[in-house]
Each structure stands twice: as structure tokens, then as C-alpha cells.
Structure 1
Amino acid sequence: MCDSRLFAAQDAAGVLVVDGFYGGASSMEGMADYALARLPDRFAMLGHSMGARVALEIVRKAPERVERIALSNTGVHPVQPGEREKRYRLRDIGREQGMERLVDTWLPPMLGPSVGANSELRERLRAMCLDAGLEIFEAQIEALLSRPQVDDVLASLDCPALSVTGEQDAWSPPDQHARIAQAIQGCLLRIVPSAGHMLPAEQPEAFNAVLGDWLAMPARETETTK
């Protein structure tokens, strides 16, 4: 349920954000196609949360277009036992009690303890999620529940890569990102203090500094045929 409002600090620094909630696509492949149609021929790619899974699908479909990749606050594991039921419980809250109740159930655990209950940031992110609406939320959980395995994509990555999360992210904790970094050759691992799942908005200066380290990583040499 995130759009460019999550990346306001990165947008101000010149980052192109693929907006529009993936056009309502209900599969990772469809979301990747939506993004690829709006991206330049070559790009450095940052994916956050579900967007990082979309980023890996983009690599699967068009590896020649990806110069480097950053995976933020995410996971690469397959669907876990009980996950379908948990996601559908949230969906049913939206269907039965309305979108406000769904967002007020879903959003608070996504934020680190440093984000106050009545803060401007929380209200901005709440408005973003409400604007997404139930139809978009349902499409996104269907995409997550039908997500493909990505072990082969991780193993194939030969570009500068970053695995980053917040120290207080209960959904995508540091040990999970350490495992992601281990699965990618030469991957940079960064854990940002005092941040939860909405890291780009919670600690924008620290997050942008991490992105700077990633962007400064030298491109890997590729073999050329003679």
C-alpha cells in the first residue's frame, strides 16, 4: 500500500519512483511488467518490502537492464505456514469493517517505536495506505501469496547489491537481511538503527547515506569475448 509518499526524501534527491500501485496487478510478473514499461533502458533499482520482490522479478525478466540492485526491508522466503490465513484475516477486516480499520491494524506494527502515535509521519503514511484502497490491497496480497521462488535470481546477481533494513523492523529483521546478503555474491549489508519497516521515511538521512554507499560500489567487471 505504498506509493511515492514513502520515498519523499529519495524523490527529492532525484530518484525516479514507479508510482500507481503497479496498476492494480495481482502477480509479481504483472507488477514487474508495469514497472519495466515505465523505467529507462538501464537503471539502478531499489525495491522496498514487496517492491523488492518485484525488483527480483524484474531481474528475472530483464537482467540486462539492471545496473545494480538494493533490497530494502524485505524477504526472499517462499509462502510460510499460516501466512495465507494471516493475510486473509487482514483482507477480511477491510471487507467487514472498512479500510480505516484495516490500515489502523496493519500500519502501527510496521513502524519503529520512535514514530509517535500522533506524528506527522504516521498520518502521512496512514493517508497513503487509505488512498490505496481495498481493491489494491487485495491484489497485492494475491501477488504475495503466488510469489515465485527467487533462489536462482539471487544466485545469478552479478551487479553491486545492497541488503538493508531497520534495526527495529519486526517484519524484515536484521537476521533475515543477513541471510539475503549471504545469498548474493559481494552483497553490502546495512542495518539502520532506530528504524522499523518504513525505513525510507522513518530515517531518510541515514537511509540515503546507505544508498550513497551502494551507489559508490564499483561495477563488477564482465568478461568480454575476443
Structure 2
Amino acid sequence: MKPHLLLVPGMLNDQRIWSDVIAGLGETAYVQVANVLTQSSMADMARDAWSLLASVPNDAPLVLAGFSMGGYVVMEMLSQSRRPLHGVAFLSTSPYPESPEGMDTRQKTLRAMHKDFAKVVEGILPWSTHQVSQAVQDDLRQMMLDLGGEVATRQTQAIMGRTDHRAVLTQLTCPVHLLCGQQDRVTPPALIQALAALIPHAPCELVEDCGHLLPREKPEVVIRHLRQLLV
């Protein structure tokens, strides 16, 4: 039976963050991309993601892949536990709830976004990427500007309110793959390594010459791992 794959974008991302990955996977799986743009909590994002999968047969192989904020959504989906999973991939994400320091930083970011959203986007791009082409930077900038400040505000508030799901992660028995850019400054490698400590059976790859935006920076690595999970 052909497997199903749900891709969950990160903050200020839509299906475009996965475009290279989807193209590279070809006919390997039935691919859907979760909508994480309209909700105000991780729980709502997860419920809507499960609703998107309602028509997938219970005996069909299903793989979930979450990038950055999408990783938090997948963790919430696991806590809601609707059905068996064939595999899970976590990309550029963290197992931890928001820290007090993180709360302060995000509050400052919210104020900056309300003042000049386009300026914040210009700051996000160099901080989030590592040696990407101008064309990729332009694509990423346009995606973020298209989604806008209201989406960014909702998502930031949802991230700040995320639940600690480390206990759920320790109970995962399906295949899990972990990926993070070696040069990721948003969710540094130490965070994916902390996730690996909770899921000892999960292979963890630190991708060289790669920042935070793994699906666009190194799609070939993401494709390789997803193909392994989809077998």
C-alpha cells in the first residue's frame, strides 16, 4: 500500500518551504501539507492536521514530518494519538517548552513585528540561513511577506504556549529520524541532540553547511531520510 506523508511547516512557512522536498519525492507517497496559518494554539494546529488525515485508511502507512514549529505540532499530534504511525521525522526543532528567556525574546519580536514586519523579515533571513543562493533567499522572503504579521503573531503566541511533550517522546516506538543543520542558530544542534537523548533508537544527522531552513537549504538530505521512513 502506498504510504501517506504529512509535512508540517514551520513559522511563517506554507507549502513552499517543502516545495523541493515534494518535487524530489515524486510518486513515493501521497503527500499532504498541514495548514498552520489560522490557528492560535498548537492543540488547534494538531487537531486540524489530524482532521486533514481523516480519510487516510487506518492500515495505510503514515509518516509525519515536522519542521521547526511544525515539530512542536507533530509532538502535539502524538499527544493526541489518533492512530498508529509508520514513522516520524523531526527537523530543526526542540523538545523543550518555551523558557523564560525565550518568552522575553518572543515578546520583543512581537513588538518589533507590529512596528515594522518587513524589517523583521529582513533580519530573520540571514539569521536563519547559511550560504543559500539569492534565488532561495528571495523565495523565502516572499513567502514570509505573503503570510504577513497577523499569521506571525498567532504563531508566535502558539509557540510561547506550547506544552512540554518530553514524556510522550520517550514512549515513541515507531521509526524516528532527527535532522538539524550544523550551522543552525535558531534551534542549535544541542536541541536536536536533546531530542535524540529522549528517543535513543532515532538516528540523528547534523547536516553540514546548513542553517535552520533545512527543507530549502538541503532538500536532498531531507528527501533521503523521508524515503527511508516511507519504505
Fold shared, TM-score > 0.5 on shorter chain = yes
Alignment of 1:208-223 (within 5 A): 208-216=223-231
1:134-167 CA-partner distances (Å, limit 9, x unpaired) = 1111111111111011111111111000111111
Deviation of 1:23 (Å): 4.3
* Runs of 4+ that moved beyond 6 A: none
Q: Distance in 2 between matches of 1:172 and 1:89?
A: 18
Uncovered stretches (5+) of structure 2, i.e. residues with no partner: 1-11
Question: What residue is the counterpart of 2:69 in the other structure?
Answer: 50
Question: What residue is the counterpart of 2:9 in the other structure?
Answer: none
Q: Distance in 2 between matches of 1:37 and 1:8?
A: 22
Deviation of 1:105 (Å): 1.8
Question: Which of 1, 17, 40 is equivalent to 1:6?
Answer: 17
What amino acid is aligned across from residue 24 of structure 1 in structure 2?
Answer: T
Deviation of 1:50 (Å): 0.4
What amino acid is aligned across from residue 3 of structure 1 in structure 2?
Answer: D
Q: Does 1:146 align with 2:157?
A: no
Question: What residue is the counterpart of 1:93 in the other structure?
Answer: 112
Q: Distance in 2 between matches of 1:107 and 1:32?
A: 27
SS in 1 for 2:204: strand
1:107-159 CA-partner distances (Å, limit 9, x unpaired) = 220101x124xx00001011111111111111111111110111111111110
Question: Which of 84, 88, 93 is equivalent to 2:103?
Answer: 84
SS in 1 for 2:170: helix
Q: Distance in 2 between matches of 1:141 and 1:170?
A: 18
Q: Does 1:37 align with 2:51?
A: yes
Q: Does 1:115 align with 2:115?
A: no
1:31-50 CA-partner distances (Å, limit 9, x unpaired) = 00111111234510100000
TM-score by length of 2: 0.85
Deviation of 1:64 (Å): 2.0
Q: Distance in 1 between matches of 2:229 and 2:205?
A: 10
Q: Residues 34 and 52 of structure 2 are in contact (CA less than 8 Å); yes or no, is this contact kept in structure 1?
A: no
TM-score by length of 1: 0.87
Q: Distance in 1 between matches of 2:200 and 2:105?
A: 33
Q: Residues 59 and 66 of structure 1 are in contact (CA less than 8 Å); yes or no, is this contact kept in structure 2?
A: no
Q: Residues 11 and 17 of structure 1 are in contact (CA less than 8 Å); yes or no, is this contact kept in structure 2?
A: no
Q: Residues 87 and 141 of structure 1 are in contact (CA less than 8 Å); yes or no, is this contact kept in structure 2?
A: yes
1:159-179 CA-partner distances (Å, limit 9, x unpaired) = 000111111111222222122
Q: Residues 103 and 160 of structure 2 are in contact (CA less than 8 Å); yes or no, is this contact kept in structure 1?
A: yes
Q: Distance in 2 between matches of 1:86 and 1:17?
A: 32
Deviation of 1:19 (Å): 4.4
Alignment of 1:126-137 (within 5 A): 126-137=141-152
The sequence identity of aligned pairs, in percent, is: 28
Deviation of 1:90 (Å): 1.5
